[in-house]
Structure formats: C-alpha cells, structure tokens
C-alpha cells in the first residue's frame, strides 16, 4: 500500500515552454504533498508544500510564479514549471504521507531537461 | 529550525561485511521521528527504517538497525552482511511531530558495496 505515482518520468522541453508534472497518491488520500528538487549526488531540496484545497507553501528562495503548484483533490498535486529555462533542468520528486507521522512515500521522480 | 548532518559523503564496504553510517541532528522538539531512506541508482527513494523518538529501543529491520542516542542527538544506521544491492545514496531524515510529514534531510552518504 501507500503508493505514489509521478508522471512523466522524464521530459524534454524547449526553453520558454511550460511543463506540468503530476503526483498521485494511488491508494490513500493525501491532504499534504511535498515537491523537491534534486541535483546530481545532492540531497533533496524542499521546494514547496502542497495543501489540498488551499495555496501551496513555498520555501524561501523558490519562485512561486515560476513553479506553480495545484492540489485540487486529495489524490493529485501538480507542479508546473512555467517559461522553463535550461537552469530549471533537474530531477523533481514528489512525496506524501498517509498519516501525519508516517514515513514519506515518494514518486519515482521526473527528470526535466530544458533545451 | 531542525538540521540534519551526515558527515560521511562517501563510504565503501566489502560484500558481507558491516558498515555504519552516521547521522546527527539538532532540534528543540521532544517528540519526533527519524528515518533512513535509500536512493539507489534508479533514484527511487525507499524507506529503510524508522525510529520514534519516544521509543528507547533501537529499531531493526532485517540486516538494518539503528543506534539511536536521543541525548546525543545521534541516529546511526548499521548495515550487516552488506549486499551489492545495498549500493545507494542513504539519507537521514528528521520529521517533527507537528508538521504533517515535512521532513529535513541530511546531505546523504553514498555507499558502495564492493564484491
């Protein structure tokens, strides 16, 4: 149980376009999901906390207009990278927990390459 | 704010031997949760083991065990009988009791198991 599905696994887009990444909890409801960015051989950097039915909470230094987060249902959160640039190329991971103190369940991640 | 420190960027161990990964953390909370996650080359984050701070007994999961020293704020991971499949990046993570899953991650330790 407690499976998180993230789609797509990889995406290549041209500079200036927008890309949407989906994160779904398949067998549990997640009022809160988390979005991370990870550079090679580095730790997960929390970008934002996605809250169902309300605005996301962004970490300091993360541009909310650049990284749009929508959490319209208890099982789906989306991250849209708007007007992508090559520096946005990275590995993006989502996570959720099915109770307040349970371990995080992670999506498989999305490798974004902006050309 | 909580901090998590993993002081060993890279480690290696011979197959079948034992290795210990260190982790220290800093918090003013009394109730919290600690986790070790594994990220193999596939980059899928996998829970290895969890520890509740209110439990004095060290958690154990098959070949994986922790040495939890609450007063010292130390949470090391011991891997016994290392296997080639244990090769991965390992992250220590802290989760407070009030943040609904929001976790702080260490910088990670890259473990290589050698045949």
Instruction: Tell me the backbone φ, ψ of residue B38, rounded to 5 degrees.
Output: -115, 135
pLDDT band of A48, cuts 50, 70, 90: very high
Closest A-chain CA to B111: A41
Residue at token pair 């109730």: B31
Cβ <8 Å between B91 and A44: yes
Q: How far is CA B76 from CA B35, B59, B79, in A?
A: 10, 11, 10
The whole-number pLDDT of residue A113 equals 97
Q: How many Å lie between the alpha carbon of B28 and the closest alpha carbon of chain A?
A: 18
Sign of torsion, CA B64 B69 B73 B74? negative
What burial class does residue B53 get, using C-beta atoms within 10 Å of its C-beta: 0-12 exposed, 13-18 middle, 19+ buried?
A: buried
pLDDT over threshold 90, residue B113: yes
The whole-number pLDDT of residue B82 equals 98
Contact B79, B17 (CB under 8 A): no
The whole-number pLDDT of residue B2 equals 84
User: Whole-angstrom Cα distance, residue A115 to residue A11?
Assistant: 11
């Amino acid at each position: 149980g407690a499976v998180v599905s993230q789609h797509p696994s990889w995406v290549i887009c041209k500079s200036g376009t927008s890309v949407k990444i989906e994160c779904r909890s398949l067998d549990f409801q997640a009022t809160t999901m988390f979005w991370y960015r990870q550079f090679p051989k580095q730790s997960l950097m929390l970008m934002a906390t996605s809250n169902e039915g309300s605005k996301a909470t962004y970490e300091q230094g993360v541009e909310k207009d650049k990284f749009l987060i929508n959490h319209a249902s208890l099982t789906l959160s989306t991250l849209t990278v708007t007007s992508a640039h090559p520096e946005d190329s990275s590995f993006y991971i989502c996570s959720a927990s099915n109770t307040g103190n349970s371990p995080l369940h992670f999506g498989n991640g999305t490798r974004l390459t902006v050309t | 704010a909580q901090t998590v420190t993993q002081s060993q960027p890279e480690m290696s161990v011979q197959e079948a031997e034992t290795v210990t990964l260190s982790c220290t953390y800093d918090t003013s909370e009394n109730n919290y949760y600690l986790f070790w996650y594994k990220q193999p080359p596939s980059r899928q984050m996998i829970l290895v083991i969890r520890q509740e701070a209110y439990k004095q007994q060290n958690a154990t999961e098959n070949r994986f065990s922790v040495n939890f020293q609450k007063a010292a704020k130390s949470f090391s991971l011991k891997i016994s009988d290392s296997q080639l499949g244990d090769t991965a990046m390992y992250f220590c993570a802290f989760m407070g009791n009030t943040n609904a899953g929001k976790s702080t991650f260490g910088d990670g330790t890259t473990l290589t198991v050698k045949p």
